[in-house]
């Protein structure tokens, strides 16, 4: 069974950094396209970025709102996807989900999410 478990969220001040983790089971993160998606409280969903599977180059793509500040990576030995967030802004507040991508940014398995609050 495919399962994703996020962790690492918390309360940080503007300008701070935070690293989120997404532990995967039931598949190998190296073999899957994966994304981070966030949800602003009481609002909709926003795609944050993706990491291609190794066979497709293993490179990331990012939404314009986070490009240059966020970095997606993976650790195959831990079977874990990461989201390194820096220069955090108040508008980065939300619940962050990792998800597997069945193709064309269609997300078929989601974690339970980890909340991030950026506030002074």
Partner 1 sequence: QSALTQPPSASGSPGQSVTISCTGTSSDIGGYKYVSWYQQHPGKAPKLMIYEVSERPSGVPDRISGSKSGNTASLTVSGLQAEDEADYYCSSYAGSNFVLFGGGTKLTVL
Residue 113 half-sphere exposure toward CB, CA atoms < 13 A:
12
- Supply the DSSP string of 18-62, one letter for each residue: EEEEEEEESS-GGGSEEEEEEE-TTS-EEEEEEE--GGGT--EEE
Residue from 47, 69, 84, 115 touching partner 1 (CB under 8 A): that is: 47
Strands 107-110 and 45-51: unpaired
Q: Of the candidates 41, 1, 92, which has an alpha carbon nearest to the alpha carbon of residue 83?
A: 92
| Choice between 11 and 45, CB closer to partner 1 | 45
Size of site (CB under 8 A) for partner 1: 19
Residue from 61, 73, 90, 91 touching partner 1 (CB under 8 A): that is: 61
Stretch that binds partner 1, among 15-23, 68-76, 84-92, 99-107 (CB under 8 A): 99-107
Does 115 bind partner 1 (CB under 8 A)? Our answer is no
| Choice between 36 and 82, CB closer to partner 1 | 36
Identify the bridge partners of residue 45 per DSSP, sorted by sequence position: 39
Does 2 bind partner 1 (CB under 8 A)? Our answer is no
Given the rule CB under 8 A, which residues bind partner 1? 43-47, 50, 61, 63, 97, 102, 104-108, 110-113
């Amino acid at each position: 069974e495919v399962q994703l478990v996020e962790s690492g969220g918390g309360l940080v001040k503007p300008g701070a950094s935070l690293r989120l983790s997404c532990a995967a089971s039931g598949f190998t993160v190296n073999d899957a396209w994966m994304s981070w998606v966030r949800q602003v409280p009481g609002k909709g969903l926003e795609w944050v970025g993706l990491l291609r599977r190794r066979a497709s180059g293993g490179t990331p793509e990012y939404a314009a709102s986070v490009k240059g500040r966020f970095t997606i990576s993976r650790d195959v030995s831990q079977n874990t996807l990461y989201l390194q967030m820096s220069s955090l802004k108040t508008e980065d507040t939300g619940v962050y989900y990792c998800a597997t991508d069945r193709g064309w940014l269609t997300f078929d398995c989601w974690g339970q999410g980890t909340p991030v609050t950026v506030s002074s």
